[in-house]
A and B are shown apart, each in its own frame.
Chain A
Amino acid sequence: MSETPLIADLGGKPEEAPLSGGLSGAKIGVVTFPGTLDDRDAARAVKLAGGTPVALWHADTELGDVDAVVLPGGFSYGDYLRAGAIARFAPLMAKIVDAANSDAKLPVLGICNGFQILTEAHLLPGSMVKNDHLKFICRDQVLRVENNRTAWTNQYDEGQEITVVLKNQDGQYVADEKTLDELEGEGRVAFRYVGWNPNGSRRGIAGITNAAGNVVGLMPHPEHAVEPGFAPLGADGHYSTDGLGFFTSVLSQLVEAK
């Protein structure tokens, strides 16, 4: 028992980013589409990890000098037609797709609606359909890191279990069996749900990566598990800041590359 138990949990500075020295120069773009909701959260996560967030607008025609890009969660264009189906046609998306496929292999992370946009843009295979239980669900969710060799997961251990937030309506990951077998065979399943499959995703898949490891998409929200006091709270009294690893991973890769 501590003298000031609660306050100690919250009052301290967020976990120091392991690579905070010299990182603030790394610019991570966060794209806002009409209907994007978690852009401010993603920018905060970048900042807490030690990077510099840069606001990007869907209608921009140039990517500028960002070193990586996050497509945050939300309901771009109201999820009308199909989640992510309209956003993929944004002028900036064409630039992002080019940069991700180029030799420079721009790191791109798609969270929730961002993941849906990445599949619509064919940077990642498969698709998301309505949760099997047909309801929106918001809960603290345990994931297992299946691949720690991507731009966004290199600070995790393989097999590590992390707690982040899950919240979605159309979160059931689907793909044909051949694609699923390929993903498994090539080690491209990046995250799997642990304990309970909250949306009926095929093979419990929560997130995947492209073959090069620079593009990662996942349904749960690491950006909601980065700051004590405002993150999943465990029975042990500790908040999960497990989501920070996504952002420190990309920053560490960027530093190494420089």
Chain B
Amino acid sequence: MSTQTAPKFNIDTVEHAAETPDVELPWAELGLKQNEFEEIVKLLGRRPTAAELAMYSVMWSEHCSYKSSKVHLRQFGEKLTDEMKKDMMVGIGENAGVTNLGDGWAVTFKVESHNHPSFVEPYQGAATGIGGIVRDIISMGARPVAVMDPLRFGAIDHPDTPRLVHGIVSGIGGYGNSLGLPNIGGEVVFDSVYQANPLVNALAVGVLRHEDLRLANASGVGNRVVLFGARTGGDGIGGASVLASESFDDTKPSKRPAVQVGDPFAEKVLIECCLELFKHSLVEGIQDLGAAGISCATSELASNGDGGMRVELTNVLLRDPTLTPGEILMSESQERMMAVVTPENVAEFEKVMEKWNVEFSWLGEVTDSGRLVITWDGETIVDVDPRTVAHEGPVYNRPFNRPEWLDGVQKDAFRSSAAGKGLPASGNELKAAVLELMASPNMCDKSWVTKQYDSYVGGNTTLSSPDDAGVIRVDEETGLGVAISTDANGRYAYLDPYTGAQLALAESYRNVATSGAVPMAVTDCLNFGSPEDPEVMWQFAEAVRGLADACQTLGIPVTGGNVSLYNQTGTTAIHPTPVVGVLGKFDDVARRTPSGWQQNADGQAIYLLGTTRDELDGSEFANLRGHLGGLPPKLDLEAEKTLAAILINASRDGMIDAAHDLSEGGLAAALSEMVLRFGVGARVALEELCERDGVDAFTALFSESQARAVVAVPRSEEVRFNDMATARRFPVVRLGVVDVLATSLEVQGQFDLPIAELREAHEGTLPKYFG
């Protein structure tokens, strides 16, 4: 530990603040509204000091306080049933939710956004997005075991898109690959609505033994508070929350980057160091430093614990000795953690730090004063009730109303639009349409991205992209494991945010079940435009209501997540994009089902489960024709539950060898992807399906009706499989067979599409644009 000499600023002490009530403070520049500033003065009974103002401004920001979203997010708690609580060990409010896996194991996962920083500085923005979500996972006492990245970019041919794609993908790889965490999936979507507002969401999952669970609270009067990891610098001051602004002082370096800079090596060492602390039970409470840095960590730890904490801020190790107390409190420097340690464990704690060469400094201690007191060289610069900073910030009931334009959009169905005329009908036209679909930016092969991520490290990955879900083994002895999928469809949510959010959940749930896992928990990253626009606020309110209702019906709780607002440029907001992650459990990951058939599946029967309706509004096919209107596909959660039960049981009982869910691109995409997965062909016919469901071949191939999946069933299992579907009254139709000798996807009577031709179209798109 080094000792530092505290720089001599003209410190704005609490005493000074009380004596000088009329000093002008830059609350507006720090992003506070007048009513919020007045509330702070009322709470304190005096004007805040510069340091207090800094703390409140970041902690009361939209990003940290959820002030616009809180009134809606409450539903996730209010709509919880006993069934949903059964396996939930930790819910919303902590760093990440925790779900019981049984056998003494638990799993924690969460998805977060790093959208704005990734647009400003794609590499570092995306990299530190991974860093932040991984520290959330460690904070729960867990070992992180995998990451996923749902990404959304502007139009693939926009001149700014390569800058973002290259920067963001290499940032995720550069940081994530260095941590030893397999990247097991995610999404890559292109749509001009995300121009200048790319969505960079990051999901991390960790596992822990029940006894290792840690929470972010500072309990036990006299326990010591320690800050460890990287030093505190001038990066990310105000970062995600408000703009840095103390420009009135021109003695300091100006133009600090608002985006944090990541050091993955420091993070990797921090992970191992924290796990060693947990192993030896050396910390009582722990909190990572993310948005709002030390302001957040001290106020949340104190607020969740016994309520009091005393901190000497000059003990913070700095990269830049010119930082003021307010800047130190707001800095979002990465790779830092704060912990609470009993006096008896101090020496052991220091030994672990020394082993891993991690810098640390003892900042202060837990008190029972009910106050968070921060001193600078002994002089009090912060004296607040930590709950008012961390948890009792402003709450807004923002006005919202259904957009007037929505009726017009919903009436504009694809079939009746100009774009819906002259649809493919002949075999050749259908074949061309399949090729066009599979080469399109959203449906094309994403391995240009995923090959830049390490999916093998750890030796526990058994499914990863392009399979429907990523599957990770948790326990090597028993094969216990988890599956995770993330999904969203901004076009569906634009057409109907309530149903759109539910469809995202349904798809994610279906993906997890398709892999063979039992869905257990939900995390969400709610990406929307400005909450100050009543129409955006309505989209948000509808999406949250939809998600909470659907979670209740499916019986799985939201255990955590994140809200990202202000994703808009000028008055144009992104499509409402609720990204939903579902986590499922395997008793033994050996039972997982891959998303394509292999050579040893020759002759297996290909079945389609579910009903196909004429549902093309909002579809990828309509998107190819530049159309967005009408209503999204019908949601049927009971059908989703039955389908999931069939897929899970069939996987357990060895009745299916491959399964793939139907979503964007419908049956055409599913069959193409199953054939491409291992390069093994198939022969199918659509007549029976078309006759039963009353649709034509085009609709059968491109409709995006929900609650459907394609499976490959060994001949010996066909009777059992059919019996199971029939017993559950679930529609099933035999489409054809896997054919190893056929080097094509043959849709009999329509077209015969060589795999090589399909592969060339599918795999050529991303390299064409990005090299």
Chain A residues close to B by CB (< 8 Å): 1-7, 10-11, 34-35, 37-38, 40-41, 44, 59, 74-75, 77-80, 135-139, 165, 167, 169, 221, 223-224, 226-227, 229-230, 233-237
Contact = CB atoms under 8 A, between A and B. Distances in A.
B714 A138 contact: no
B453 interface: yes
B451 A7 contact: no
Nearest 8 CB-CB pairings of A with B: A78-B265, A37-B180, A10-B590, A237-B598, A4-B654, A237-B600, A235-B678, A41-B459
Given A7-B590, A80-B265, A235-B680, A1 B604 contact: yes
B287 interface: no
B598 A235 contact: yes
28 contacts: A3-B714, A6-B590, A6-B591, A7-B654, A11-B588, A34-B269, A34-B272, A35-B178, A41-B457, A44-B476, A75-B178, A75-B264, A78-B178, A136-B173, A136-B454, A137-B451, A138-B455, A138-B456, A167-B177, A167-B457, A169-B174, A221-B456, A223-B459, A229-B462, A229-B473, A230-B459, A230-B461, A234-B598
Given A5-B601, A78-B178, A167-B456, 18 more contacts: A3-B714, A4-B654, A6-B593, A34-B265, A34-B272, A37-B178, A38-B180, A41-B457, A75-B264, A75-B268, A136-B173, A136-B453, A137-B451, A138-B451, A230-B462, A233-B594, A235-B678, A236-B600
Interface string B253-267: 000000000011110
A7 B591 contact: yes
Contacts of A169: 174, 177
A40 B590 CA distance: 21
Interface of B: 170, 173-174, 177-180, 263-266, 268-269, 272, 355-357, 450-462, 473, 476, 588-594, 598-604, 654, 657, 678-680, 714-716
Given A7-B654, A229-B590, A236 B456 contact: no
A136 B174 contact: yes
A51 to B, nearest CB: 16
Contacts of B593: 6
A226 B473 CA distance: 15
B711 to A, nearest CB: 12
B600 A5 contact: yes
Contacts of B462: 10, 229-230
Contacts of B592: 6
Contacts of B473: 229-230
Contacts of A1: 600-604, 714-716
Contact of A35 (B268, B452, B461): B268
Nearest to B174: A136
A137 B452 contact: yes
Contact of B657 (A6, A34, A221): A6
B453 A138 contact: yes
A227 B170 CA distance: 29
Contact of A236 (B457, B458, B598): B598
Contacts of A221: 456
Contacts of A41: 457-459
A243 B590 CA distance: 20
Nearest to B476: A44
Most buried by A among B180, B450, B473, B594: B180
Given A38-B457, A229-B590, A230-B460, A235 B602 contact: no
A161 to B, nearest CB: 18
Given A235-B678, A235-B680, A35 B459 contact: no
Contacts of A227: 459
Most buried by A among B174, B459, B716: B459
A236 B603 CA distance: 14
Nearest to A167: B454
A17 to B, nearest CB: 17
A257 B287 CA distance: 53
Contacts of A7: 590-591, 654
B467 to A, nearest CB: 10
B624 to A, nearest CB: 29
Contact of B457 (A10, A37, A137, A234): A37
A11 B716 CA distance: 20
A235 B679 contact: yes
A47 B257 CA distance: 48
A35 B457 CA distance: 13
B721 to A, nearest CB: 14
A4 B714 CA distance: 9
Nearest to A164: B456
B63 to A, nearest CB: 29
A202 B461 CA distance: 32
Contacts of B459: 40-41, 44, 223-224, 226-227, 230
Given A6-B654, A10-B590, A235-B680, A78 B457 contact: no
A33 to B, nearest CB: 10
A223 B266 CA distance: 25
A171 to B, nearest CB: 13
Nearest to B452: A136
Contacts of A138: 450-456
Nearest to B516: A6
Contacts of B451: 137-139
B663 to A, nearest CB: 23
A73 B269 CA distance: 15
Nearest to B598: A237
Contacts of B716: 1, 3
Nearest to A224: B456
Nearest to A45: B459
Nearest to B593: A6
B263 A78 contact: yes
Given A224-B459, A230-B459, A78 B264 contact: yes
A230 B714 CA distance: 23
A235 B674 CA distance: 12
Contacts of A75: 177-178, 264-265, 268
Most buried by A among B452, B592, B600: B600
Nearest to A59: B355
Contacts of B180: 37-38, 74
A5 B589 CA distance: 14
A229 B456 CA distance: 11
A227 B590 CA distance: 12
Nearest to A235: B678
B655 to A, nearest CB: 10
A156 B476 CA distance: 28
A237 B269 contact: no
A229 B589 contact: yes
Contacts of B657: 5-6
Contact of B170 (A3, A59, A136): A136
Contacts of B272: 34
Most buried by A among B263, B266, B451, B680: B451
Nearest to A77: B265
Contacts of A4: 654
Nearest to A10: B590
Most buried by B among A7, A11, A34, A224: A34
A135 B452 contact: yes
Contacts of B174: 136, 169
Nearest to B678: A235
A165 B680 CA distance: 22
A165 B265 contact: no
A127 B268 CA distance: 25
A77 B593 CA distance: 38
Nearest to B590: A10
Contacts of B450: 138
B265 to A, nearest CB: 3
B415 to A, nearest CB: 40
Contact of A165 (B173, B264, B456, B601): B456
